[in-house]
Amino acid sequence: MAEIVSEALIGRLADWGVDTVFGLPGDGINGIMEGLRRQQDRVRFVLVHHEEAAAFMATAHAKATGKLGVCLATSGPGGIHLLNGLYDAKLDHMPVLAITGMQETALLGTGYQQEVNLDKLYEDVAEYDQMIYNPAQLPTVVDNAVRTAYARRGVAHLTVPNDIQVADAGADPWQHVAPARPPETAPVMLSAPGKPSEHDLERVADLLGDGKKIAVLAGAGARHARAELLAVAEALAAPIVKTLSGKDTVPDDSPYTTGGIGLLGTRPSEDLMGDIDTLLMVGTNFPYTKYLPEPGKVRVAQIEADPIRAGARIPTEVPVVGDAKQALAGLLPLLKPRSDTKFLEKYQKEMGKWRKDMAALQDAGRDPIAPQYLVSVLDELAADDAVLTCDSGTIATWAARHWHVRGGREFFLSGNLATMAPGLPYAIGIQHAMPGRQVIAFVGDGGFAMLMAEFITAIKHKLPVKIVINNNNALGQILWEQMILGYPEYGVREPEPFADFAALATANGALGIKVERAGDVRGAVQQALSHNGPALVDVNVNPDEPPLPGKVEYDQAKKFAQAFLKGQPRKATIATTLFRDKIDQLKA
């Protein structure tokens, strides 16, 4: 049997170390499916229910393993479905390859069924975007796609017409006017130089040496540099602030961190940013500049892997390009250790208070169930090396504040695209890559409902993922955003009764538990975590629990009051919750 192009394509990906492809077949990719069938000993195909989820799974694979994630979709609608997940990869700088089908070459441009110019559609999302017209383009275009995805840390896209998919891989149908089939190179990614120059590191050390009140801001690019971050913080007696994507850079209980920053961050981090004279940014392109020090007020050094992003957010005196771990390791011996720890201690004290305030909100006695309590139970019972995935919504705030990174715990969500729905597919993608790990998705009812068919994917693939749904029967995040704008909520609550997602699980042979009383939370979470298979805990929580910012500004409070005056529904229950939160914090 002669080798077909699709077989060579998948084989070449296997040479690059690809072992999993997430996707859903269609008449536009039957040839590629045959390539996967022939290569099934080397590459596993994971059948999903929605292509968007396949792209999220590929993104999660890249986030958790550092290796290329691959997703596959048919021509037209399948390719369109991938896009949201691919933008998630693009915005969080993850190497992902999308393979799509295309009309056969003889029909291109004729308006044949499902003809969508996916290569044009993907122009914005993809760093490398190529149609394969001729078998002789292989393996070069595959190599270029993979190399680009890694080197530019983004999306590569290959679209393959139906006839080319099943063409003889050795065919070379046309006369050449220039040499075809460039030589094959070993499929090895040569990593870019990682350590900044000594000169650059000395400039960083000098700037830090002049600082009296220093903070470190760490992001996802420093996830592999925990020991170095902590050592630098110790040497400088400087607190570490973490972006949400960088939540697992250092443990939440470290004396060197003031936790998160931004709307869902901590009050100490917010205070700290207004108090420092020097900032060291490491592995972060934190977009919410409102939460960074005002331009001109502090001196800034930044260690950033991508030259394009170095110094791009706030005026930066010393932007340095390099790998976070190697840069910090190189910086350490150049630092003059600071013996004055007063500034650090001030924020350690503030953090002690913040931790108490947060613990006070984890009240088991509340009815309806406080989301903070739900997360605290999950936090307590989950393994020390659990992986938590999360969605955009109030859930991100609850996870940011009440889920504690400790030991080998990891944390993933859609950082910059901030899309709903990746929590569940992320968990599936990661569980495939890490079969032995406890993988938990903490998601909202809105985000879960968007791609809930993927829970059936988890069941069919016998993946022991654990899903915990913070079911507030609402698009909670937006509800609070509307009120903060000064308007009463509109179009953000689901009609009662609350959906029963546990029934979806039990009806399909998985463990599903619906929880409506706080007293049942612990037992349900425990049962799910110890269950040897996929499990889902659907918890009806207080729909009137606001995710308040760490520091409520006067203007926000005023807008809130305006929304109340303009006829905000459920005023009484919201006020009660707010009141109780404040009293509990005061009690703490």
Ligand X SMILES: Cc1ncc(C[n+]2csc(CCOP(=O)(O)OP(=O)(O)O)c2C)c(N)n1
- Residues of this chain that interact with Mg ion (CB under 5 A) are 444-446, 472, 474, 476
- List the one residue out of 142, 168, 163 whose CA is nearest residue 70: 142
Q: How far is the CB of 518 from ligand X (least distance, A)?
A: 18
CB of 490 to ligand X, least distance (A): 13
The yes or no reply on residue 425 touching ligand X (CB under 6 A) is no
Q: Decide which of Mg ion, ligand X, none touches 92; Cβ closer than 5 to 8 Å per partner kind.
A: none
Tokens 């021509």 belong to which residue?
75
Q: Does 418 bind ligand X (CB under 6 A)?
A: yes
| Residue among 7, 52, 379, 445 that touches ligand X (CB under 6 A) | 445
How far, rounded to the nearest angstrom, does the alpha carbon of residue 275 sit from its chain's CA centroid? 30
In the DSSP assignment, the letter for residue 312 is: -
DSSP string over 175-242: --SS--SPPP--S-PPPPP-SPPHHHHHHHHHHHHH-SSEEEEE-GGGTT-HHHHHHHHHHHT-PEEE
Select the residue interacting with ligand X from 268, 393, 425, 429 (CB under 6 A).
393
SS3 content of the chain, % helix, strand, coil (to 5): 40, 15, 40
How many residues belong to the chain? 588
Amino acid 400 reads A
Judged by CB under 6 A, the stretch of 297-305, 391-399, 514-522, 575-583 that binds ligand X is 391-399
Helix 342-361 to helix 394-402 angle, to the nearest 10 degrees?
120
Name the CA dihedral angle for 34, 38, 42, 43, rounded to a multiple of 10 degrees.
Answer: 10
CB 240 within 8 A of CB 256: yes
Task: For helices 324-331 and 198-210, give the axis angle rounded to 10 degrees.
Answer: 70
76 binds ligand X, rule: CB under 6 A: no
What are the beta bridge partners of residue 301?
280, 318
Out of 472, 482, 542, 568, name the contact with ligand X by CB under 6 A.
Answer: 472
Parallel/antiparallel/unpaired status of strands 278-282 and 299-304: parallel
Nearest-CB residue to ligand X?
Answer: 444
Q: Which stretch binds ligand X (CB under 6 A): 104-112, 154-162, 290-298, 470-478?
A: 470-478
Smaller CB distance to ligand X: residue 204 or 474? Answer: 474
Min CB(221)–ligand X separation in Å:
23
- Mask: binding to ligand X, 353-372, rule CB under 6 A, as x and -? --------------------
Site for ligand X in 332-351 (CB under 6 A): none
Closest CB 401 distance from ligand X, rounded Å: 13
Nearer to Mg ion, 430 or 474 (CB): 474
| Cβ-closest position to Mg ion | 444
Minimum CB–partner distance for residue 119 and ligand X (Å): 24
Q: Tell me the closest approach of the beta carbon of residue 81 to Mg ion, in angstroms.
A: 23
Distance CA 207, CA 201 (A): 10
Q: Which is nearer to ligand X, 258 or 419 (CB)?
A: 419
Q: Residue 368 or 446: which CB sits closer to ligand X?
A: 446
Least separation in angstroms between CB 450 and ligand X? 7
Please tell me the distance from the alpha carbon of residue 335 to that of residue 236, in angstroms, as a whole number.
8
**Which letter does DSSP use for residue 247 in this model?**
T
Closest CA to 441 of 1, 53, 122: 53
Told to check if 478 binds ligand X by CB under 6 A, we report yes
Tokens of 125: 């999302």
In this structure, what DSSP letter does residue 106 have? G
Closest to ligand X by CB, 143 or 489: 489
Secondary structure (3-state) at 141: helix
Binds ligand X by CB under 6 A, chosen from 95, 101, 196, 444 = 444
3-state secondary structure 438-472: CEEEEEEHHHHHHCCHHHHHHHHCCCCCEEEEEEC
Q: For residues 470 and 444, what is the distance between their CA atoms, to the nearest angstrom?
A: 5
Residue 372 interacting partner from ligand X, Mg ion, none (CB closer than 5 to 8 Å by kind)? none
The verdict on whether omega for the bond into residue 196 sits within 30 degrees of 0, i.e. cis, is: no
Is there binding between residue 59 and ligand X (CB under 6 A)?
Answer: no
Q: Does 476 bind ligand X (CB under 6 A)?
A: yes
Q: Which is nearer to ligand X, 310 or 428 (CB)?
A: 428
Question: 148 is in the binding site of which of ligand X, Mg ion, none (Cβ under 5 to 8 A by kind)?
Answer: none
- 399 vs 525, which CB is nearer to ligand X? 399
159 binds, among Mg ion, ligand X, none (CB under 5 to 8 A by kind): none
**Segment near ligand X (CB under 6 A); pick from 26-34, 46-54, 294-302, 390-398:** 390-398
Least distance in angstroms from the C-beta of 501 to ligand X: 11
Residue 394 interacts with ligand X (CB under 6 A): yes or no: yes
Per-residue interface string for the shown chain with ligand X, residues 120-139, x marking contact by CB under 6 A? --------------------
| b/e per residue 189-220 (b: at least 16 CB within 10 A) | eeeeeeebeeebbbbbbebbeebebbbbbbbb
Shortest Å distance, C-beta 447 to Mg ion: 8
Least CB distance from residue 245 to ligand X, whole Å?
A: 15
| Least Å from the CB of residue 442 to Mg ion | 12
CB 310 to Mg ion: min, Å: 38
Residue numbers of the site for ligand X (CB under 6 A)? 391-395, 418-420, 444-447, 470, 472, 474-478
